[in-house]
Structure 1
Amino acid sequence: MRTLLVFASVILFQPGPASAFERLEGYFIAEKACEAFQSKNKQTNPGNIATSIRVAYDMIGINKAGGDYFQIRIEDAPVTTARWVSSDCGIHVVSAGTATAEPLGNDQISDLPGREESTDNLLTLSWQPAFCEIRPGKTECQDLNAGNLPHTTRQLSIHGLWPQPKGNNYCGVSRQVRNLDKPNSWHLLPAPDLDTDTTDALAAAMPGFASHLHHHEWIKHGTCYFGEGKADEYYDDTLYLTELVNDSAVADLFVNNVGSEITGDAIRTAFDQSFGEGTGDRVLVKCTNDDGRTLVNEIWISLKGQITPESDLGDLMLAANATQMGCNGGLVDPAGLQ
């Protein structure tokens, strides 16, 4: 009898076939801040990444049918963008008929009557190769680093046009939209209403267009611009100012020194030469560090006055207050990872 019981116990506790990872479609909507692990078993989390409440993340799968960990995509997470989060951290939604899984409409943005067009603004322009050294996973950076965006080394690229003072953001924007304003869910934000010409020009002048940066910039900053033409006017004005800079000695300074260092003084002098003495004092130079190299990353240009298709950039700059130089200078990074 004892022999039979032992035999039965062996049969009972024989391991079954291992449960397999199951791929899932749609999105994971975080309902709380949870650690996002590189390894769910070892609980490793390079970068100490956590989910943000009510943000949609691309769903990859679940560790097993009915499992306890979802694998999601968190853009810009170090080491790997594929991260594991506990299944009780949020919900899995698919695109069919769910508001959180499809782009929201512009009915989530309210008109604010009586507000005049912004006359205190900051034009922010990027040197895209430097940005892509620190954000190589971005769609536009993969294209640039593969040699598919050569024009980014012949111009400064649009980051944004920011109504001032700082913090003047999200005008008339619903909380539902604000909660989606994260890089991994920019594609779910209401798309700016742009005509074909503006869309084509913006796609060339703003490489981040490929990652829906234009959605984010409109929602966060453009909604506080209050031009009569709304998003189309906001981006037309941004494109106009950017073209003036790119047709000047400022862009020439960058283009002619790719792979070499330039100083903040040289950048400011190029503005003085192109737009009038004193305009350089309205330029803040931003740099970033990449493995010990200092890279010129952006220039922030202070502007005061209403922007029109006939505006003189020098006049707009001289009407603004002077600013500190910021970075004293750095390398003009070539395209491709260095």
Structure 2
Amino acid sequence: MFRFSFGPAAIASALLFAPAPTWAAEKLEGYFIAEQECEAYQSKNRFTNPGGITTSIRRAYDMIAINKPGGDYFQIRIDGAPVTNARWVHTSCGVHVVAAETETAPVPPGSNPVQPSPGAESTENLMTLSWQPSFCEIRPNKDECEALNAGNLVHATRQLSVHGLWPQPNGNFYCGVPNSIKQIDKPETWGDLPEVDLSDDLRNALNVAMPGTQSHLDRHEWIKHGTCYRGEGGAEEYYADTLLITDAVNSSTVGRFLQDHIGQTVTADDIRSRFDEALGVGAGEAVQVKCTSDQGRVLIGELWVHLKGTISPTADLGDLMRAASPVSKGCPQGFLDLAGLQ
């Protein structure tokens, strides 16, 4: 969770010299087709909604405007709405149709920063950590797997790698993401998704912790899951918090246990016990082991770590795990795979 602090002089200076906003609503013709049930606001800035009006799925509404060119809110007409029938809905709620079977052109992929819809920061999350050698047994043609199996990603053969941080409950996906972007969120077109804007230091750290960045996994995870995390710092905070959890696990006795047992069969009970040892009794009950099959072998594929509470640099991982509801241990045992195709 980011916290920003500015002195009185800085605030006064900013207010004095800040230019007045120049964005103006752009008039649109045609109709808005709702694909979701969404709130229709009188004020999109204050989120006021007299009458609690929502859109109806697959219903067409007269289109009035978009809040700015390439903006994130459509203004539509909802007959019978109290106070005003001109209401604002998020662009992720549906599509703008000018005439039958004609949809407004999508923003070119790779150049459109996605703006998550408003909401509180997620406090129920699932951290999914991958054992990369097992993943690469199944998908050896991935760029990151070719590098790993060639011996070029040694670190990823000895520690857990980032798959993703997933706000819960399951199904909490694509918050504020336009349909034009969702439609290309497929592994073969992840490279066409908007690039995730991160600081250089965080980008470098993520590239190490998440080998899948070579296949643009970071873009997919941000679009599908990160937009629903809703931290104040956007993608920067989402991935910074992801690395906080990943580093805490890898640097603990859990990480050392995995390193010491590469090429051996380990049990879910052993793994959960190491979490208890590292983070306090009860932490292991928040861990579920996921296995994958490879030519008759059962491989440890991922560890799913359930968390409840706000993730921050001052948060205790053990507390976050113990606050989560206990889960089943999952796969009872599996082989901790070596690098290279077996």
TM-score by length of 1: 0.69
Counterpart-to-counterpart distance in 2, 1:212 and 1:219: 11
Match of 1:254 among 252, 258, 271: 258
Residue matched to 1:152 = 156
Closer, same or farther: CA 268–111 of 1 in aligned 2, 3 Å = closer
Contact 2:280/2:318, CA 8 A, preserved across alignment = yes
Could you tell me how far 1:251 is from its partner in structure 2?
Answer: 1.1
Asked if residue 130 in structure 1 is aligned to residue 134 in structure 2, the reply is yes
Residue matched to 1:57 = none
Q: How does 1:33-52 map to 2 (within 5 A)?
A: none
Residue matched to 1:201 = 205
Residue matched to 1:112 = 117
Matched AA of 2:329 = M
Could you tell me how far 1:254 is from its partner in structure 2?
Answer: 1.3
Q: Mark the runs of 5 or more structure 2 residues left unpaired by the alignment.
A: 1-104
Residue matched to 1:103 = 110
Residue matched to 1:275 = 279
Asked if residue 316 in structure 1 is aligned to residue 323 in structure 2, the reply is no
Counterpart-to-counterpart distance in 1, 2:116 and 2:231: 11
Q: How does 1:1-338 map to 2 (within 5 A)?
A: 103-106=110-113, 109-113=114-118, 115-338=119-342
Contact 2:185/2:193, CA 8 A, preserved across alignment = yes
The worse-fitting range, judged by mean Cα deviation, of 189-198 and 293-302 is 189-198
Residue matched to 2:32 = none
**1:213-263: CA deviations, max 9, x gaps?**
000000000000000000000000000110000001111121111111100
Q: SS of the counterpart of 2:303? A: strand
Counterpart-to-counterpart distance in 2, 1:305 and 1:265: 25
Q: SS of the counterpart of 1:251? A: helix
Q: SS of the counterpart of 1:258? A: coil
Q: SS of the counterpart of 1:315? A: helix
Q: SS of the counterpart of 1:118? A: coil
Contact 2:107/2:180, CA 8 A, preserved across alignment = no
Could you tell me how far 1:100 is from its partner in structure 2?
Answer: 8.3
Counterpart-to-counterpart distance in 1, 2:168 and 2:149: 34
Residues paired across the two proteins, number = 238
Contact 2:109/2:194, CA 8 A, preserved across alignment = no
Structure with max Cα Rg? 1
Counterpart-to-counterpart distance in 2, 1:234 and 1:136: 28
Counterpart-to-counterpart distance in 1, 2:158 and 2:294: 22
Matched AA of 2:117 = L
Q: SS of the counterpart of 1:311? A: coil
Could you tell me how far 1:192 is from its partner in structure 2?
Answer: 1.5
Contact 2:130/2:162, CA 8 A, preserved across alignment = yes
Could you tell me how far 1:110 is from its partner in structure 2?
Answer: 3.6
Q: SS of the counterpart of 2:163? A: strand
**1:53-90: CA deviations, max 9, x gaps?**
xxxxxxxxxxxxxxxxxxxxxxxxxxxxxxxxxxxxxx
Contact 2:116/2:177, CA 8 A, preserved across alignment = no
Q: Percent identity?
A: 55
Matched AA of 2:137 = E
Could you tell me how far 1:272 is from its partner in structure 2?
Answer: 0.2
TM-score by length of 2: 0.68
Matched AA of 2:149 = N
Contact 1:194/1:231, CA 8 A, preserved across alignment = yes
Counterpart-to-counterpart distance in 2, 1:330 and 1:111: 38
Counterpart-to-counterpart distance in 1, 2:143 and 2:163: 15
Matched AA of 1:168 = N
Contact 2:109/2:181, CA 8 A, preserved across alignment = no
Counterpart-to-counterpart distance in 2, 1:111 and 1:334: 39
